[in-house]
Structure 1
Amino acid sequence: MKLKLYFIVLAAALGMSVNVFAADGPKPVKAKRKTAAPPKKFIDPANMDLAVKPGDDFFEYANGGWLKRNAVPAKETRWGSFNILRQENIDKLIGLLNEVSKTSASQPKGSLKQRVGDLYASGMDTLTIEKRGYDPIKPFLNRIDKIRNLDDVINELVYERVNGAGSAVFGFSVDQDDKYVNRYIVNLGQGGINLPDRDYYLKSDARSKKAQEALKKLIVTLFTLTGSSADEAAKNADIVYNLEYTWAKAQLSRVAMRDPHVTYNKFLVADFEKQTPHLKWSKILPALKAGSQDSIIVAQPSFFRTTDSLLAATPVANLKIYLRWHILRGAAVSLSSDFVKAGFAFSSALSGQKVQTPRKERMSAFVDNSLGELLGQLFVEKYFTPAAKQYMVALVNNLKATLGDRIKRLEWMSPATKDRALKKLNAFTVKIGYPDNWEKYDGIVINRDDYYGNLTAINIWKYNFNVSRLGKPVDKTRWGMTPPTVNAYYNPTNNEIVFPAGILQFPFFDFNADDAINYGGIGAVIGHEMTHGFDDQGRQYDADGTLRDWWTAEDANKFKSRADQVVAQYNAFKVLDSLHVNGKLTLGENLADLGGLNIAYEAFSKTKQARSGNKADGFMPDQRFFLSWAQVWRSAQTPEAAAQRILTDPHSPEQFRTNAPVTNMDAWYKAFDVKPGDKMYKKPEERIKIW
């Protein structure tokens, strides 16, 4: 399926900090200090390594002291500024959940506190979960036992999806039509694999082989836990792995799918059905509650042609084994401890995480993912102030005006394309903190003593909600993240930038911080999300979110030429032994980092602090700005996690997110007196300038 949201971080956490705006910009809303706390050191030299020249390794110079003192905790795969803020938010959520779960049983049935509290309590009721073993999934396994032919297999794929057991083989969703953004349409996408990326199946290096063996071991373990003999489980593992290998070969790469035109393939249902004669979409779609659709979007048509042939050529007995595996794999983390341990052993082999995340943290994440806008109301009420929201609105407007000025000054872009770029910028929708209209999750019944039943009920509700959108007006007020989330995103089809409440904290957002800290933190994040509207993917969507070309051919070529320079810069970065950053996969995020930091710096340069040239904590204003940027990305990770991210994450590793953008900014060279001979030095004519 195509990815609709472009994040500041992926599978990580963000925090923000802002205080004063440009002197000629909007005025901030001041928050009162609650206590006379000791002054915070927003830039602490103890966290730096002053023995390293900033021009040799700015990431190490800014963060080396902290990195020496902080190993990756056993329950984490990486540890840094994002993770620390995320942990703080998790602790806040656990506190809220512990409190509400104590009284939820006495709350009115269906109320916010009853459902949130009882959902958390059901997940923490390990005695009941342990006693039930894998009983909760036996109805699905019994259904699979009764399958007799290929039609039964396809019917089972549909049944599991509609009844809360997940999406086997292929992806299905209802989303906006990229070329008619005011309509919802059915989307089909590739699937079928359980390793993080198709390349894990297709490569034969030591890391890939380790991942392949870990997957086979998981398959054997889960089948053994449900009654298969050792020999039978081993045979099942071979069958499952070979099927997944075939699906992996049929998948498009992540780099190929970065082009939204590649994944926009619209078919009449009748025409697409001719390409997949065994997958009769005219019957499947109504069974999926999608009604009688005349057209669908298929992200990877060749994958479905392969799947149709594979399903027809594979013995039904083998397909039944795969279906059992799908149920076991999806449910393992929610069953008794033997299943949970097996799932963690698999993920640990891939990520390097040494001990499992504590159950209370996993269950707080489960509630947030399940009833996030109910839990979010409790979070916002206690931890997010209206002043912070007003402050962010003003700062976004400030950065937006700065980006507009930069677009007007672009020497490589024609007036016609500039006019359209400014039109798109001015059409941005901005969402901050939390939704204006909270989702009520009407119809979800939560029982305190039925964890797996609750999980299934939530999955069914989400599925039904998704398909119910067909034929209705597009609701652009909805959010793609919950309020406690430590992240931010840009959504091209809505042309919107979104900043949940969870991210609006230090090291990005702090009422008491100086301009340099705040602009280097949240200012760069705001600029990052704005730039996503003009990165290699976002630039292909126009002001109303439609996938439509608004560039002159000459301007598009000039943009691509500059973007290719960014690809080359990041391709040169080595992460582990032979592994390099994938400049094409990470291009959008790298462009957003480069643009966001430039926008934030220009806005900062107008502030009284920047113009004063006064030191604070021993650093000049411009130095504090860039050090703030660097400490945002302070992070260490396990080698396994680093290797996995290179294949799967569109974001570059943190040290390169720190170092690469600054080497393209003249102000950084001046701030730290970076000269020829320094390892990060680039000649002025080599510095990449885009937005």
Structure 2
Amino acid sequence: MVKWLNVGIVQLALLFSSCATAADKPAIGDFGFDVGGMDCKVTPGDDVYAYANGTWARTTPIPPDKANYGQFTRLADINTARVGEILDDARRDSSSRIGAAYASYLDAARVEALGMAPLASWLARIDAIHDRSGYRAIVADAAALGVTLPLTAEIGPDDGRPDRYVPIVSQSGLGMPDRSYYLADGASMASARKAYTTWLAAMLGFAGQGDAATRAGAVMDFETAIAKVSWTPLRNRDASKTYNPTTLATLAHEAPGFDVGALFAGRVAAGDRVVAMQPDAIAAVAKIVASTPVDVLKDALRAHTLHAFADVLPDEVGDADFAFYGKVVEGSEKREPRQARAAAFVVDAMPDDVSRIYVARWFTPETKAAAMAMVKNIIASMDRRLDALDWMTPETKKRAHAKLAAFTPRIGYPDRWHDYTGLTMKADDLFGNAVRARRWKHDWELGRIGKAVYRWEWSATPMTVDAFANYPTIGITFPAAILQPPFFDPHADPAINYGGIGAVIGHEMSHQFDDQGAKYDEKGRLSTWWTPADDKAFRERTGALATQFDAYEPLPGMHVDGRLTLGENIADLAGLTVAYDAYKASPESRQAKTIDGFTPDQRFFLGWAQLWRLSYRDADLRRRLITNGHAPAVQRVWTMRNLDAWYAAYAVKPGQALYLPPEARVRIW
């Protein structure tokens, strides 16, 4: 257990001193905020997002190769350039695995010259399938290659026994982002279905199949049948409903139309424990597979194989794949440059070989220490807030404190790296490199079955611009890439840092107590540890937050789903609340003065608003509203309308669009 509550306030004050020298000038503006991106003609109480970000939103176009653009994508582009530098250096080293992989991707001439030849043997295996036994025989290899199948499997912590890994089976089989794309009414969904059928026909054509249009329709009918029995995103986010431990033999009996055991390549015995995420959907999908003609199953395999490998095949395949997934689904206008795709390929294939170089070059011990100090301070703030809750019973508070004390903050990069010994990369074999990397990763996954959880292993690279909470391990993770401006700048005004990375830290911490995280106890077990009174009070508050977000309409006729986004909305509200308390308790706050006309509290909220400078293409925003657990950026900024301090900071008054009377402001943590 790690204890972070005895905060080194003096150290924190030194790290975030506002008396910066010229050399220590903030990376953004005079105090860490881009004032030029504001629109001061807008009243904060009417639209605080537009007030803080309006000029930026009007004057910053979305690049043609992006579905959206904002702070996350900007930092991701910076990291891609940094990774490119690493790989350019590695390419000059003939012994470098990552250099060979990078060179193979950049050798477009060779990829074009080889054409479809690298895929020929796999397509021949599909051609050779004549019955269901032949289809079952190919499932294990298809899973290893990352080809979409009607059901899918992973190895993850067992929610009931979080110290051990368990095989997990889930619904799958859809080529479009969600069941709604197959089933929902409306012109946009109808257009997407038409475009997807065109894509299916194109992929079957690349696979050498005739009568592609008719056969594409049959695959579309097959996937539509799967969509009809698949769980919704809202149902899938319920940790209690998706945890259904059983045995492989029982699951196979309930889903006889699909060889579930083949997903694990024979490494799971009949009596071994597995978790079925959506039991009735799994059984229904298996039944659909059993009644579908083998030729249709083969065509689905062909099409999804082409998608799985589109990026390492000739451009005519990649361009056709992008025409649907890039243009129709995301709204992007063109593919990313080959260099950027090459960098992404190498990071996906051997993430830790790149990561260890990245953190050595671009993540300093000083940044890690400063971030850890901030984490400690936010945890201390959360600890105080638990004591002050008027709706939680004493016995539940005691266990909540124990869970908070069990948090494992992970900053920058993991303590241990994966060893890719045995993984061969060749400068003249891009397709082979992709296959070998995927098989290595799949074998690593299967090798975890039944073992103790690898607590050193991260689910993201240090180059990932994001942060994470893990329920079974009670972990909160902040990769190196997010610990840079505008999220975090040791030389920025402390109010900006607390409103920025401080609120993000509070967000990830509070995920452990959101509507799903709260179902996991201080050991990381999915269990009931709240009293009925706690649960009732919590549901009343979170229900009000869901209703608040239900009212938002980012696209005409499309509202935010307050239940689908509830966990993230709870975390945003809690993150801001806890970070504000932490800032007000800090010596920096007591010494803070007005800067450039902005009070300390105003700067705190500007720090949060600046993080969410983000514009979407309509197609991408539509997809997110249907499938994503996060509300759009504008509405995430508006979360501050629930904090009393925001009203005082900006003199928000009744009659302004975002004003909520005190009794309507949602207060949870």
TM-score range, shorter chain: over 0.9
Residues 561-609 of structure 1, C-alpha deviations (whole Å, 9 max, x = no match): 1000010000000011100001111000000000000010011112344
2: CA distance, partners of 1:165 / 1:520: 40
User: SS at 1:75's partner residue?
Assistant: coil
Correspondence for 1:63 among 37, 46, 53: 53
Normalising by structure 1, what TM-score?
Answer: 0.92
1: CA distance, partners of 2:494 / 2:483: 15
Deviates more, 1:41-50 or 1:552-561: 41-50
**2:649 counterpart residue number:** 671
User: SS at 1:505's partner residue?
Assistant: coil
**2:136 counterpart residue number:** 154
Residues 24-52 of structure 1, C-alpha deviations (whole Å, 9 max, x = no match): 78455479989577984122332111111
CA spacing shift, 1:506–1:39, aligned 2, 3 Å? closer
2: CA distance, partners of 1:383 / 1:38: 17
Task: Say if 1:27 and 1:394, in contact at 8 Å, map to a contact too.
Answer: no
Task: Say if 1:285 and 1:292, in contact at 8 Å, map to a contact too.
Answer: no
* Residue 684 of structure 1 pairs with residue 662 of structure 2: yes
2: CA distance, partners of 1:346 / 1:286: 31
Correspondence for 2:65 among 75, 81, 84: 75
The AA in structure 2 aligned to 1:270 is A
User: SS at 2:217's partner residue?
Assistant: helix
Residues 655-690 of structure 1, C-alpha deviations (whole Å, 9 max, x = no match): 00001x211101000000001111111101111100
* Residue 598 of structure 1 pairs with residue 577 of structure 2: yes
2: CA distance, partners of 1:496 / 1:305: 33
The AA in structure 2 aligned to 1:595 is A
The AA in structure 2 aligned to 1:137 is L
**2:293 counterpart residue number:** 315
**1:325 counterpart residue number:** 303
Correspondence for 2:84 among 81, 88, 94: 94
Deviates more, 1:398-407 or 1:128-137: 128-137
**1:176 counterpart residue number:** 157
Map 1:120-139 to 2 at 5 A: 120-139=102-121
User: Which consecutive residues of structure 2, in runs of 5 or more, have no partner in the other structure?
Assistant: 1-6
2: CA distance, partners of 1:445 / 1:552: 54
User: Which consecutive residues of structure 1, in runs of 5 or more, have no partner in the other structure?
Assistant: 1-20, 108-113
User: SS at 1:104's partner residue?
Assistant: coil
Task: Say if 2:546 and 2:563, in contact at 8 Å, map to a contact too.
Answer: yes
**2:93 counterpart residue number:** 104
Aligned length: 658
The AA in structure 2 aligned to 1:341 is D
**1:197 counterpart residue number:** 178
2: CA distance, partners of 1:420 / 1:35: 46
Correspondence for 2:596 among 617, 620, 633: 617
User: SS at 1:579's partner residue?
Assistant: coil
**Per-residue deviation, 1:241:** 0.4
Residues 488-511 of structure 1, C-alpha deviations (whole Å, 9 max, x = no match): 100001000000111110001112
Map 1:221-370 to 2 at 5 A: 221-229=202-210, 232-281=211-260, 284=262, 287-291=265-269, 293-347=271-325, 348-370=327-349
**Per-residue deviation, 1:228:** 3.1
**1:568 counterpart residue number:** 547
Residues 57-84 of structure 1, C-alpha deviations (whole Å, 9 max, x = no match): 0000001111121111111111112221
1: CA distance, partners of 2:548 / 2:423: 50
Correspondence for 2:532 among 553, 573, 577: 553
2: CA distance, partners of 1:680 / 1:442: 56
1: CA distance, partners of 2:109 / 2:568: 44
Task: Say if 1:25 and 1:398, in contact at 8 Å, map to a contact too.
Answer: no
**Per-residue deviation, 1:280:** 5.0
Deviates more, 1:181-190 or 1:486-495: 181-190
Task: Say if 2:545 and 2:562, in contact at 8 Å, map to a contact too.
Answer: yes
* Residue 186 of structure 1 pairs with residue 167 of structure 2: yes
The AA in structure 2 aligned to 1:550 is W
Correspondence for 1:466 among 445, 450, 453: 445
2: CA distance, partners of 1:68 / 1:285: 49
User: SS at 1:681's partner residue?
Assistant: coil
1: CA distance, partners of 2:443 / 2:9: 50
Correspondence for 1:47 among 31, 37, 40: 37
Task: Say if 2:520 and 2:526, in contact at 8 Å, map to a contact too.
Answer: yes
Task: Say if 1:23 and 1:606, in contact at 8 Å, map to a contact too.
Answer: no
**Per-residue deviation, 1:652:** 0.4
The AA in structure 1 aligned to 2:208 is G
Task: Say if 1:587 and 1:650, in contact at 8 Å, map to a contact too.
Answer: yes
**2:4 counterpart residue number:** none
Task: Say if 1:140 and 1:327, in contact at 8 Å, map to a contact too.
Answer: no
State the identity %: 37
**1:141 counterpart residue number:** 123
User: SS at 2:629's partner residue?
Assistant: coil
CA spacing shift, 1:401–1:97, aligned 2, 3 Å? same
2: CA distance, partners of 1:286 / 1:513: 50
**Per-residue deviation, 1:614:** 1.6
CA spacing shift, 1:165–1:667, aligned 2, 3 Å? closer
CA spacing shift, 1:349–1:541, aligned 2, 3 Å? same
- CA RMSD in angstroms, aligned pairs only: 1.9
Deviates more, 1:147-156 or 1:264-273: 264-273
2: CA distance, partners of 1:74 / 1:681: 37
User: SS at 2:233's partner residue?
Assistant: coil
2: CA distance, partners of 1:447 / 1:43: 46
CA spacing shift, 1:174–1:615, aligned 2, 3 Å? same
Residues 263-309 of structure 1, C-alpha deviations (whole Å, 9 max, x = no match): 1111223322222234355x636734335552211111122222222
CA spacing shift, 1:36–1:312, aligned 2, 3 Å? closer
CA spacing shift, 1:284–1:261, aligned 2, 3 Å? same
Deviates more, 1:531-540 or 1:603-612: 603-612
**Per-residue deviation, 1:253:** 0.5
CA spacing shift, 1:65–1:663, aligned 2, 3 Å? same
Task: Say if 1:515 and 1:607, in contact at 8 Å, map to a contact too.
Answer: no
